[in-house]
Amino acid sequence: MISLTSPVETWAHRWPAGLKLGLMSLATVALFATEDPAILGASAVGVALLYASAGTRFARAGARQLWPLWPFLVLIALWHGLTGQVAAGVALTLRLLAAVALANFVTMTTRLSAMIEVAAVLLAPFRRLGLSTRALEISIALVIRFTPAIARKGGLLSEAWRARSRRRPGWQIVMSLAALAIDDADHVADALKARGGVLPIPDTDQKG
């Protein structure tokens, strides 16, 4: 599974993930708390400089990540152009771009393993309360393992459909795909049980 972490090694890759996430959260709260176009503009320039400091290739990949926002930018432009509230529209656009780009920057400069470590730290209080987080850890691994498998099966089902029909594959594939997911889940459940179960402590109540 390919994560969105940038293969271009930057200075920010070496920063601790927790620190980056904390700073990003504070900055995002601040961005949504202000309406001042000057502050929002300065923030947008600041985020752009972050990307620029990481090199052209990195910055170009970052810009591509912002592309899905274009319908919203068109919407803001039309709306505020028609109602004449141009300053408010500019402020909204700057805040949207700065907030999304900043969050993407953290994702692009943090490895999946580092993110999972942060998640484990955040879950530590639950472990201290005696709750097992093992189920969650296994679930995360299972999703990472099985998403490509399910996607591949979806592709195979589409091909099988095209080989037999002139019409395009439709929702019928989803039904077969869901049945395949259920079958996979049965096999996984058996495999987990065969390896001693998710909660290996014998005195806990293990309901099938």
Partner 1 sequence: MERSIALVALFAALIAGLGFIPKFTLAFGVPITAQSLGIMLCGTVLGARRGALAVILFLLLVALGLPLLAGGRGGLGVFASPTAGYLVAFPIAAFVTGWIVEHWRGNLAVVGAVASVIGGIVVMNLIGAVGLSIVLGKTYVESLLLVTAFIPGDLIKAVLAGLITASLAKARPASVLSRA
Q: How many CB atoms lie within 10 A of CB 81?
A: 11
Q: What is the nearest approach in angstroms of partner 1 to the Cβ of residue 42?
A: 18
Per the CB < 8 A criterion, the answer to whether 51 and 101 are in contact is yes
Please work out, in degrees rounded to the nearest 5, the angle formed at the alpha carbon of residue 116 by the alpha carbons of 12 and 44.
35
Q: What is the nearest approach in angstroms of partner 1 to the Cβ of residue 64?
A: 11
Per the CB < 8 A criterion, the answer to whether 160 and 154 are in contact is no
- Which residue in this structure is represented by tokens 């961005």? 31
Rank residues 2 and 163 by Cβ distance to partner 1 and give the closer one.
Answer: 2
Q: How many CB atoms lie within 10 A of CB 110?
A: 24
Q: What is the nearest approach in angstroms of partner 1 to the Cβ of residue 151?
A: 4
Rank residues 44 and 104 by Cβ distance to partner 1 and give the closer one.
Answer: 104
Write out the two tokens for 149.
Answer: 């498998």
Rank residues 48 and 112 by Cβ distance to partner 1 and give the closer one.
Answer: 112
3-state secondary structure of 40: helix
Q: What is the nearest approach in angstroms of partner 1 to the Cβ of residue 51?
A: 13
Rank residues 24 and 55 by Cβ distance to partner 1 and give the closer one.
Answer: 24
Rank residues 58 and 110 by Cβ distance to partner 1 and give the closer one.
Answer: 110
Q: What is the nearest approach in angstroms of partner 1 to the Cβ of residue 41?
A: 16
Residue 203 per-residue DSSP state:
T
Dihedral of the CA atoms 8, 12, 15, 19 (nearest 10)? Answer: -130
